[in-house]
């Protein structure tokens, strides 16, 4: 099982690597559910760590419906972080009805290549997850980070297992939110899990 640790600082990323993390998702402002990290922190983290560093691209808190200016910033940020040497991009865009914005998400995926692309927890806002997972597969997205549309992944296990089954190895389903040492055994059937793991793993 690959353990991806969500880190909002260089210092925590280093600590997570030493503790045995397999990959870092770097962001800032976790109290806002994570925003795009600062360039300086990202460069230091990418240059220092031996494990892969994925970068969250999310310009603000709130919903996942972005203005033209916000979307252009997201695209510029992807190019900048890709040039820095990160190994993956974590992002996603929704329409006003909370369906996946296929056109804009496709643009982000194509800008990110050849890096891996994770569709983030915007997925937990969609109205028809079993339909939308097929859209993500069609876009060639590598994985989706989801809590199974519940606040905590442990409460979303039914949907998570359903998504894992229908994905049939066409996309990785990566549970995240509230996973810790006391409940991690519930996620052994998933290839990857995500969390901040403040108390270890």
Identify the structural domains of the chain with CATH numbers, from first to last.
2-195 (3.20.20.380)
pLDDT beyond 70 at 4: yes
Exposure of 192 in the CB half-sphere (CA atoms within 13 A): 20
**Do residues 161 and 190 touch, judged by C-beta distance below 8 A?**
no
Q: Is 156 helix (H, G, I), strand (E, B) or coil?
A: helix
Task: Characterize the bridge pairing of strands 23-26 and 2-7.
Answer: parallel
Exposure of 22 in the CB half-sphere (CA atoms within 13 A): 10
Length of the chain: 201
User: What percent of the chain stands above pLDDT 70?
Assistant: 100
Mean pLDDT of 69-76: 98
pLDDT band at residue 31 under the 50/70/90 scheme: confident
- Residue-averaged pLDDT of the chain: 96
Residues 6+ apart with CB under 8 A from 53: 13, 23, 24, 26, 42, 45, 46, 86, 87, 88
Residues 146, 152: Cα–Cα separation, whole Å: 9
pLDDT band at residue 197 under the 50/70/90 scheme: confident
17: enclosing H helix or E strand: helix 10-19
pLDDT band at residue 181 under the 50/70/90 scheme: confident
Whether omega for the bond prior to residue 114 falls within 30 degrees of 0, making it cis, is: yes
At 82-104, the pLDDT tens digits run: 999 999 999 999 999 999 999 99
At 120-157, the pLDDT tens digits run: 999 999 999 999 999 999 999 999 999 999 999 999 99
Tell me the pTM. 0.95
pLDDT band at residue 201 under the 50/70/90 scheme: low
Amino acid 195: pLDDT: 93
Mean pLDDT of 53-70: 97
């Amino acid at each position: 099982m690959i353990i991806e640790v969500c880190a909002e600082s260089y210092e925590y990323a280093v600590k997570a690597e030493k503790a045995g993390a397999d990959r870092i998702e770097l962001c800032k402002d976790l109290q806002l559910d994570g925003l795009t990290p600062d360039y300086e922190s990202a460069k230091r983290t990418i240059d220092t760590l031996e494990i892969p560093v994925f970068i969250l691209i999310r310009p603000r808190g709130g919903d996942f419906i972005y203005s033209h200016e916000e979307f252009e910033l997201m695209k510029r940020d992807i190019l900048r972080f890709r040039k820095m040497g990160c190994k993956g991009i974590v992002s996603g865009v929704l329409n006003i009805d909370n369906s996946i914005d296929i056109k804009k998400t496709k643009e982000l995926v194509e800008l990110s290549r050849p890096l891996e692309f994770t569709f983030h927890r915007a997925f937990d806002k969609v109205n028809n997850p079993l339909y939308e997972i097929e859209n993500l597969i069609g876009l060639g997205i590598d994985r989706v980070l989801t809590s199974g549309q519940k606040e905590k992944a442990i409460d979303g296990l039914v949907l998570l297992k359903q998504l894992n089954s229908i994905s049939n190895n066409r996309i990785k389903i990566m549970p995240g939110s509230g996973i810790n040492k006391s409940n991690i055994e519930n996620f052994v059937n998933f290839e990857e899990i995500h969390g901040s793991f403040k108390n270890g793993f």
